Amino acid sequence: MMAQPSDAPLFPPFSVIGPQFIAPYPLELIVDKYPCRHLVITDSDHKIMLKVKPYDTTFHCQRVLLDANDKPIAMLREKNMSMHSAWNIFKGESKADSDMIFSTKAEHMMQFKINFSVKLANKRNNNNDCDLRIKGSWSKKNCTIYMGDSSTAIAQMHKPQNLKYATDKFTVTIQPNIDYACVVALFAIVDAIENPDEIKQGSGAAGAVLGVCNVLASA
């Protein structure tokens, strides 16, 4: 379990996607999974904080991170032909290299537990140091995000204590001063990797289901 927050902040403000997504107090977010790969993220008062929706999954596995008013915050895009489940994250709905915020990749081509490194685009260098790392067991809803390769946890996923049989929910505890939009984006990427898109554009039932999903995504 993560250490209990003290009166003093544990971290200086750590902004990745934007300073507006930093809270000076610990956050407990609830992630609800809906059909067609939609995620809705609420706080403990059931206020919608963020949403994640599929975005044109015909050629790439993609997700778009939205605010509560459906304004695009970040584009989460899987790299095609990647052997390490690599993803790039961009500002808004951009896909330009100049708008990349961070990238993620699995440490091993075949891995039975989650182990992804995160590298911020504005801190790229020639070494292999990572800025964040996410590790754990997705099936057991027990994944933790660490600061770099340290043992310092900044966010932790766990089963809802009051929703014992809720298979489509999980909660995330986030330390003060940590960019919660970045945390949500990372968990959304792992969710997409662990539950890959099975519906591609086509005819018949698959095409009809995709049409419904596209309508929902644009709603």
pLDDT in tens, 98-150: 999 999 999 876 667 899 999 999 775 556 689 999 999 988 889 999 999 99
For residues 66 and 218, what is the distance between their CA atoms, to the nearest angstrom? 12
Provide the CATH number for the domain around residue 67: 2.40.160.200
Residue ranges of E strands in the chain: 27-34, 38-42, 48-54, 62-67, 72-78, 87-91, 100-106, 114-120, 132-137, 142-147, 153-158, 169-174
Q: Would you state the pLDDT for residue 10?
A: 66
21: in domain: no
69: in domain: yes
Q: Would you place residue 29 in the very low, low, confident or very high pLDDT band (cuts 50, 70, 90)?
A: very high
For residues 70 and 143, what is the distance between their CA atoms, to the nearest angstrom? 27
Q: Which domain holds residue 44?
A: 27-218
Tell me the per-residue pLDDT of 41-78, one tens digit each, with 9 for 90 and over: 999 899 999 999 998 766 678 999 999 999 999 999 99
185: in domain: yes
Domain total in the chain: 1
149: in domain: yes
Q: Would you state the pLDDT for residue 42?
A: 96
Q: Would you state the pLDDT for residue 3?
A: 45
Tell me the per-residue pLDDT of 88-98, one tens digit each, with 9 for 90 and over: 999 999 989 99
